[in-house]
Amino acid sequence: GVMERLGLGPEVLLQENPRLIYARLTGFGQTGKYAKSAGHDINYLAVSGVLSKLGRKDENPYAPVNLLADFAGGGVMCALGIVTALFERARSGRGQVIDASMVEGVAYLSSFLWKSQNLGLWSQPRGENLLDSGAPFYETYRTSDGKFMAVGAIEPKFYSQLIKGLGLNLDELPAQMSFSDWPEMKKKFASIFAQKTQAEWCSIFDSTDACVTPVLSFDDAASHQHHKERNSFIKNDQGEISPRPAPVLSRTPAVPSCKRDPFIGEHTEEVLLEYGFTKQEIAKLHSDEVIEFKNLKANL
């Protein structure tokens, strides 16, 4: 209701410009019992049903920071909605309003979980299934130097390479999909991974298809050979490292800025002047606290 109180709701603006695409990104959506309730990523994740699937056996569900509902179910799905509306407008010439709910966005993002319930992938309690840390071959393991390796050897041909790299004999082990043996196999794998450093395990698995990779810290990820060869991370003029824009387009790739992030209000005046506002109008907006300035020059 904030935009309506300002007289800038979609009904008003679409009358001014019927081609306008008006995106409304909220936690719970524009209607429904929780529509006007406050919330954060963890709440949207909880109401979507997805949070109930996240966590280890005998532990509370946990939210993976605020990536899933805020950024994936919210930002990315809203952006996809805008792209879809732009595509439709190219045919109809008309804009529309996008009701982007983070709850519904992350629920839709989890369609695989809903659609695969009857395939046996999620038939066990949380933390005991194939992809939620139940399987010994889809898990993380601590190394002797306190770091971790990630294992995702689901397919038999990958699993056999995992077993070989661990120095075990496949014929002497229980069947890969023997659920009852998974807890003991996890203990066995954990004891073996704990005997070598992360670097030593990388030297064993890097040239294989065992689906075993190091769990890299931010610093290690940015300096890793694979990422350096692809220029996956960039550094700005302040020495700050961040991911390069993705995905990479062949003909019109993004050209990332290597300047520091702007301060709030740093370019307010020049942007508004570019769009035709007078200095007097800008001063009035500032005095009314509608906009903010960041004066980078010393006041002597």
Q: State pLDDT tens for residues 166-185.
A: 999 999 999 999 999 999 99
> What DSSP string runs through the chain?
-HHHHTT--HHHHHHH-TT-EEEEEESS-SSSTTTT----HHHHHHHHT-GGG-S-TTS-----TTIIIIIIIIIIHHHHHHHHHHHHHHHH---EEEEEEHHHHHHHHTHHHHHTGGGTTT-SPTTSSTTTT-STTEEEEE-TTS-EEEEE--SHHHHHHHHHHTT--GGGS--TT-GGGHHHHHHHHHHHHTTS-HHHHHHHHTTSSS-EEE---HHHHHH-HHHHHHT-EEE-TTS-EEEPPSSPPSSS------SPPPPTTTTHHHHHHHTT--HHHHHHHHHTTSS-----S---
Active-site residue, 224 included: no
Active-site residue, 70 included: yes
Task: State the catalytic residue, choosing from 40, 206, 209, 261.
Answer: 40
- Show me where the domains of the chain are located: 2-119, 138-215, 261-299
Task: State the catalytic residue, choosing from 41, 58, 70, 171.
Answer: 70
Whether 138-215 and 2-119 are alike in CATH topology: the answer is: no
Q: Report pLDDT digits (tens) over 101-153.
A: 999 999 999 999 999 888 878 888 999 999 999 999 999 999 999 999 999 99
Q: What's the confidence (pLDDT) of residue 299?
A: 45
Would you identify the CATH topology of the domain 2-119?
Answer: Rossmann fold (3.40.50)
Would you identify the CATH topology of the domain 138-215?
Answer: formyl-coa transferase, domain 3 (3.30.1540)
298: confidence class by pLDDT, cuts 50, 70, 90? very low
